[in-house]
Amino acid sequence: MKILTANRLSDGEAVWYAADGTWAEAIDLAETVADKLGESRLEAIGKAAYDNDEVVDVNLIDVVVADGVIRPTRLREVIRAAGPTNRTDLGKQARPSARHA
Amino acid sequence: MYRYDEFDHDFVQARVAEFSDQVERRLAGEITEDQFKPLRLMNGVYLQLHAYMLRVAIPYGTLNSKQLRMLGHIARKYDKGYGHFTTRQNIQYNWPALSDMPAILADLASVEMHAIQTSGNCIRNVTADHFAGAAADEVADPRPYAEILRQWSSVHPEFSYLPRKFKIAVTGAKRDRAAIQVHDIGLHLKKDETGALGFAVYVGGGQGRTPIIAKKIRDFLPEEHLLSYITAIMRVYNLHGRRDNKYKARIKILVHETGVEEFTRQVDAEWAHLKDGELALPEADIRAISTYFAPPALVARPEGDEALRLARLDSRSFGEWLDQNVVTHKHPDYAAVTISLKGVGEAPGDASDSQMEAVADLAERYGFDEIRVSHEQNLILPHVARADLRAVYDSLVEIGLQTANSNLITDIIACPGLDYCALANARSISVAQEITHRFASLERQRDIGELKLKISGCINACGHHHVGHIGILGVEKKGAELYQVTLGGSGDENTSVGEIIGRGFGPEDITDAVETIVETYLRIRLDSSEIFLDAYRRVGQAPFKEALYGSEAKAA
């Protein structure tokens, strides 16, 4: 499975492309795709958002979905989705809405 | 310390205005990311994992109280209440919004600071011995020369688009505390037999994926030739340095591939027609810059000895701090103090906004308004009367910065690693935290003695692992973190690059491996005066290999 991620231009916040067509601040809301067709669609959306100056550093990343929870396969993306592991009081993991995988 | 003149003020203000305009145009969509990225990098703005990062220059690591207070203010107002001091003696903020950059840079400019040339393929912040101007073993203060280099290299039109970034370090003492031999150019300020000042010039050192120790290409360069000679080096590099391959673009590769003799010949040929031209430094100019760095008026405070004797009797922990974190000053009544940013479980180099403000207060009250950032990611009060050390210590206890571990195993250099950095492959901070917990006992640390442990989260080696007595390099293997261990590195006047001891260790095993290495050292050392590095150099890898991999080697 893949999801589309980027950083928001104005403040650098890590964001994921969500099924409702917005860039969500939580990975839980990311739209997952399972085939090349879906990947191409997300890539096109990412390019358009980049060209439109909404986001930067756009990437498709690998994830696994287990029990409805999206988990990136690379530790880098796990940390990006949560925040620094040495400061669990900071980043997305510290937000009331954060869901802990 | 150096004060901006009118030109400096105008220059920095103009840059703030220029970059503010660039940020606004970027946010308005008038310029693309491809156009903007090189501009933001020229102003120290990176994009990391969670947010943008701003790297602020602290020239040769010297700050006054007002500046440190401003760094604390920025941490509180625009960031998340802390900053990270780096091995380039700079500070990084991990969470600023792009839209706040103009305001941050304006605040910095109000205290004569900026973020220019903290990134990009230019001459970066010139670093210096953090005890400069205070150290008892110093021949002369290296900072005036670092300042001359800063002025000369700032937006230098010829050297703003080098093949790759370029780092210069200066030391004024034989004991090298600035790691000059792992810099693109390392300068050792010294005197010749007539008492004249000049430099031993080292070129082509560096860490990263290809660690190379710099070569000395001139034993004594008279001070007036500093800029002409460095210009000659830069020109040879700018012309012949490789631009075809990022990984071979540093000057160390050029020196290595060209050969030291031929490289030196080319530099000398270039220098021949620069030497007596406009780059020759007039004596009056050198002295004028030097006056900015004149030592403070250190009045006699002979009561210090008795005060310390009594304070030692009163508090064992104060005595331990005194032994570990306080070094001899030029003036017998004074000392230089290391404020450790390496408390047990802390991220090396991180300081909170209130800690920065409290240290600024201490510097103002007891330290002649001067603070240094060391490349080992600690803060330094370079001039404190010995009679005031107890008061300084008590104040540090109040803000949790009294850790007495300077040069011990928990005084770890660590890069931000995968917790923050977009380039990292593995975490560094978590490894440092676990090691500090494991070796938390000060008694044990002091028994182990001097041991420099350095951790990098990728091969770029920002955590200086190549020159750690014990070096740890984090890599990614099959999607997981793996830590490779090197032993025997050193970044002082006897620089050496650490050697890989064997296969790497997973995150759950790396602290055990470090402990095994330390226990092996304790077993084989001649006596407690033989530090880890000396013992390793005497016996080599064998006993450490055996201790780490023995059973498995036998099984195979």
Phi, psi of B460 (to 5 degrees): -65, -15
Q: Over the stretch B397-448, which tens digit does the pLDDT of each residue have?
A: 999 999 999 999 999 999 999 999 999 999 999 999 999 999 999 999 999 9
Q: Give the number of domains in chain B.
A: 4
- Residue B553 has a CB neighbour count (10 Å cut-off) of 11
CATH number for B177: 3.30.413.10
Strand partners, A23: A17
pLDDT score recorded for residue A98: 57
Task: Identify the domain boundary among B231, B257, B292.
Answer: B292
- Are both B432 and B540 inside the same structural domain? yes
- Are both B449 and B535 inside the same structural domain? yes
pLDDT score recorded for residue B263: 98
Q: Let me know if A19 is exposed, middle or buried by CB neighbors in 10 A (0-12, 13-18, 19+).
A: exposed
Q: Over the stretch B44-82, which tens digit does the pLDDT of each residue have?
A: 999 999 999 999 999 999 999 999 999 999 999 999 999
Q: Over the stretch B493-549, which tens digit does the pLDDT of each residue have?
A: 999 999 999 999 999 999 999 999 999 999 999 999 999 999 999 999 999 999 999
Decide if B47 touches A, using CB distance below 8 A: yes
Pairwise CB contact (< 8 Å): A75 & B51: no
Q: Let me know if B533 is exposed, middle or buried by CB neighbors in 10 A (0-12, 13-18, 19+).
A: buried
- Are both B254 and B276 inside the same structural domain? yes
- Are both B156 and B276 inside the same structural domain? yes
pLDDT score recorded for residue B1: 84
pLDDT score recorded for residue A101: 39
| Mean pLDDT confidence for B304-323 | 97
Q: What's this model's pTM, rounded to 2 decimal places? A: 0.96
DSSP assignments along B45-75, one per residue: EEE-SSSEEEEE--GGGEEEHHHHHHHHHHH
CATH number for B56: 3.90.480.20
Task: Indicate if the pLDDT at residue B276 is higher than 70.
Answer: yes
Q: Could you write out the three-class secondary structure of B172-241?
A: CECCCCCCHHHCCEEEEEEECCCCCEEEEEEECCECCCCCECCEEEEEEEEHHHHHHHHHHHHHHHHHHC
Task: Indicate if the pLDDT at residue B556 is higher than 60.
Answer: no
Among B39, B141, B55, B51, residue whose Cα is nearest residue B104: B55
Per-residue pLDDT band at B346 (split at 50, 70, 90): very high
Residues sharing a CB contact under 8 Å with residue B21, sequence separation 6 or more, in sequence order: none
Residue B119 placed within a domain: no
| Mean pLDDT confidence for B131-159 | 97
Q: What is the DSSP letter of B124?
A: -
DSSP assignments along B443-475, one per residue: HHHHHH-S--EEEESSTT-TT-GGGSSEEEEEE
Which of B47, B80, B98 is opposite residue A10, by nearest beta carbon? B98
Q: Over the stretch B463-487, which tens digit does the pLDDT of each residue have?
A: 999 999 999 999 999 889 999 999 9
Task: Indicate if the pLDDT at residue B223 is higher than 90.
Answer: yes
- Look up residue A48 and give its two tokens: 């358009």
- Are both B26 and B62 inside the same structural domain? yes
Q: Please answer whether residues B320 and B407 qualify as being in contact, where contact means their C-beta atoms are separated by less than 8 angstroms.
A: no
- Are both B323 and B278 inside the same structural domain? no
Q: Running along chain A, 101 residues long, what does each successive block of 10 average in pLDDT?
A: 98 97 97 98 98 97 96 96 97 78 39
Task: Identify the domain boundary among B239, B261, B292.
Answer: B292
The domain of B434 spans 413-555
Q: Over the stretch B360-375, which tens digit does the pLDDT of each residue have?
A: 999 999 999 999 999 9
pLDDT score recorded for residue B479: 85
pLDDT score recorded for residue A100: 44
Q: Over the stretch B1-22, which tens digit does the pLDDT of each residue have?
A: 899 999 999 999 999 999 999 9
Among B454, B521, B457, B493, residue whose Cα is nearest residue B188: B493
Q: Over the stretch B176-207, which tens digit does the pLDDT of each residue have?
A: 999 999 999 999 999 999 999 999 999 999 99
ipTM above 0.85 for this complex = yes
- Are both B70 and B171 inside the same structural domain? no
Mean predicted lDDT score pLDDT of chain B: 97
* Side-chain half-sphere CA neighbours of A9 within 13 A: 22
pLDDT score recorded for residue B553: 56
Residues B476 and B514: their CA atoms lie apart, in Å, by 19
**A91 interaction partners in chain B (CB closer than 8 Å):** 50
**B49 interaction partners in chain A (CB closer than 8 Å):** 14, 76, 79-80
Residue B505 placed within a domain: yes
Residue B97 placed within a domain: yes
- Are both B418 and B532 inside the same structural domain? yes
Report B:473-512 residues touching A (Cβ under 8 A). 476, 479-481
- Are both B152 and B276 inside the same structural domain? yes
**B433 interaction partners in chain A (CB closer than 8 Å):** 86
